[in-house]
Amino acid sequence: MNTIVEAELADFIRNKAVKKLNIIQVDESKYQIVANLTWKEGDWYLVTTRKKPREWASLDRLARHIREKYNGAVPPISLLLKPLKKDDKG
């Protein structure tokens, strides 16, 4: 798994080196950022300085983080949600 830390991602976004940010729902209440870079192949997962996946408990918090961290210079964003299980109500 390719990983990237917050400072690197912010720098790459500022320099327009990120093609797309993918927001992925990893379980019912956790979301991660995966970046596609212009100059490297594959998916780059945002991790903490301790190399653990950076996760958010809600899309609202994640959206606020993106707006505050990247100052409106955000590349296109896609959202991948997990399918509901048959026993989930919705």
Q: What is the pLDDT of residues 18-47, one digit of tens each?
A: 999 999 999 888 999 999 999 999 999 999
**Which token pair is 86?**
């048959």
Q: Is residue 90's pLDDT more than 60?
A: no
Fold for 2-80, please state it.
Answer: 3.30.720
Amino acid at 11: D
pTM: 0.87
d(CA 75, CA 90): 31
Task: Spell out the domain ranges in the chain.
Answer: 2-80
Across 83-90, average pLDDT: 68
Provide the percentage of residues in the chain whose pLDDT is more than 70: 94
d(CA 85, CA 80): 15
